[in-house]
Amino acid sequence: MKRRSGAGYALAALGAILPCAVSAQTGVPAAVPTAPPVVLGAPPLRLMDPPLVATPRLPAENPFGLAADVAAALPAKPPFAALGLSVPFYAMMRVDVAGRVLQSRRVRDPIPSLAADSKKSLDRWVFEPARKSGQVVETWASFRLDLQVVIGVPRIEQMSMAPVTPATPIPAPVDWGSDTGWYESLKVSPPSDGTVPIEQVDIPPNPKKTRWDADSYRGPFACRFWIKVNAQGRVEKSIPIQVSDPILIPYVRRSLSSWQLRPAQLKGQAVDSWNDLSLAGQISYSIEIKQIVKLSKTLAVP
């Protein structure tokens, strides 16, 4: 039996544990890739592709547009009616330790046509002052005024409707969502003017005198909507683009629901179409406060 040298035994052992062949002629193992050292407790390495930033492009044509053969048309005399609506008005007032209003702010006003009268009314309110730890303190009081508004039948002086075509620029809509959604999503920092935040008082200011001079309006109005007229000639959707008073948004939408229009036509068939509607004239409101609700949330940065 051929005896192995000490080197032979070492090579045989190395060939048994490494996944590579050992040369029968030289007895030298082939090159073996060495693994990186393992560090106990180190997180495993991960190969990740670099993040890609999407670069979407605006469409070359207005996706609302339609090149109709015959444009949709308004009725000869669109119907309007008087309508009663309940709408909230949000305001905040700086009330001093004597219960007097030092400043007031209209935070969310559905009838800015009466802004001067509304603010003058708020400035005249009188309160029982706020208290914290038994002491009267100065604070910004927040309120929701629930208004009952009756909108009279408007006198239309100008009315037009133009088709939205693929070349029509897309305008920015009026940013006036639901009142509840606006309030719930509102996040405002406490005031930094030395007043005690309304969130921290024990007893908020309590109104004693609530005069309201903004109880009626008669004057001009204007609004512009994009409306979708379906193939049956009914207004299916509406997007406010411009309004003199946000309260006109539900009023005009309610009025549009009763209109019967001539639909657009393409190749002799009635089709859906988007249109740019403008209205202007004279209108009247009568306003009454139905309820005053104290809020424990700062509505705006003073």
**Cβ neighbourhood burial of 46 (10 Å; 0-12, 13-18, 19+):** exposed
- Is residue 8 scored above 50 in pLDDT? no
- Is residue 258 scored above 80 in pLDDT? yes
Contacts of 66 (CB under 8 A, 6+ apart): 163, 164, 165, 166, 264, 266, 271, 272, 273, 274
Q: Which of 232, 217, 201 has its CA nearest to residue 295?
A: 201
Task: Give the model's pLDDT for residue 16.
Answer: 41
Q: Which two tokens stand for residue 216?
A: 């009626």
Q: Are strands 126-128 and 101-108 parallel, antiparallel or unpaired?
A: unpaired
Q: What is the pLDDT of residues 240-251, one digit of tens each?
A: 999 999 999 999
CB 41 within 8 A of CB 241: no
Q: What is the pLDDT of residues 53-94, one digit of tens each?
A: 665 665 678 888 999 999 999 999 999 999 999 999 999 999
- Is residue 230 scored above 70 in pLDDT? yes
- For the chain, the average pLDDT equals 87
DSSP assignment, residue 280?
E
- Is residue 37 scored above 90 in pLDDT? no
Mean pLDDT of 104-114: 98
| SS3 state at 185 | helix
List the domain boundaries for the chain: 83-295
Q: Is the pTM of this model over 0.85?
A: no
Q: What is the pLDDT of residues 130-187, one digit of tens each?
A: 999 999 999 999 999 999 999 999 999 999 999 999 999 999 999 999 999 999 999 9
Phi-psi region of 41 (alpha: psi -120 to 50; beta: other; left: phi over 0): left
3-state helix, strand, coil in the chain (%, to 5): 15, 40, 45
Q: Which of 118, 107, 170, 110 has its CA nearest to residue 142?
A: 107
Task: Give the model's pLDDT for residue 36.
Answer: 54
Phi-psi region of 250 (alpha: psi -120 to 50; beta: other; left: phi over 0): alpha
